[in-house]
A = this chain, B = another copy of it.
């Protein structure tokens, strides 16, 4: 990066004087929360982490894990903190999704939500047993395929009724699924939902579950191996049928 095109680190004396006189409370401001769509794969289903609200509005309904942005932390740090607080997950794949700012999205007051989505291997957070009354990994059913929008449905158990979500969290969830589906086509992020080593068929099942449609096995193998980012670990998974080679994902180019 060219330093010439970047702002100077130290303000001039003139600017320092201005900064001291500045009243940061001069204007009214919205509150800012960070909400996280955590996606994980369990039992061949896409699942998402929900927490039950203990206070109005939407008391006792389910919502995405979230919290207010602290003044000293970046947005990325806030998202990571919230995931660690609510689900004890550290260092997952985490990416900013969209910022939701409808003036009426929270009935109390003006609150922006900077939404993130996280992909995680569920083995990493089965430590505190789920589900409970407070927090649950809910099943996600997305009745549409491809990248177009559509309502995602969320259930506590595969056969129970769809849950209504608090605020505009259903919309946030929709966008998270839409985003990951679109991204899966050109970025091999499916492995983020798997343990460090996995077979090609496991990776394909991940893609199929996320995309909601079957994939051609031959071309999937070819495409994945052609990326050059899958390295055989040398080990073998013996399950049923012929043993399969285990691969590891190479993050560096």
Contacts and interface: CB of A to CB of B under 8 A. Distances in A.
Contacts of A223: none
Interface in A139-181: 151, 153-154, 162-168, 170
A68 B11 CA distance: 22
B26 A70 contact: yes
Interface string A4-24: 111100011011001100111
Given A71-B28, A72-B25, A167-B7, A15 B57 contact: yes
Contact of A31 (B5, B27, B57, B75): B27
A24 B108 contact: yes
A132 to B, nearest CB: 22
How big is chain A's contact interface, by range?
35 or more
Number of copies of this protein chain within its complex: 2
A220 to B, nearest CB: 20
Interface in A107-145: 107-110, 112, 114
A44 interface: no
Given A6-B164, A18-B55, A29 B26 contact: no
A96 interface: yes
A128 to B, nearest CB: 24
A4 B164 contact: yes
Contacts of A29: 29-32
B74 A14 contact: no
A56 interface: yes
Contacts of A73: 103
Nearest to A166: B7
A167 B170 CA distance: 34
Contacts of A12: 56
Q: State the 3 A-B residue pairs at the shortest beta-carbon distance, nearest first.
A: A75-B101, A25-B71, A15-B56
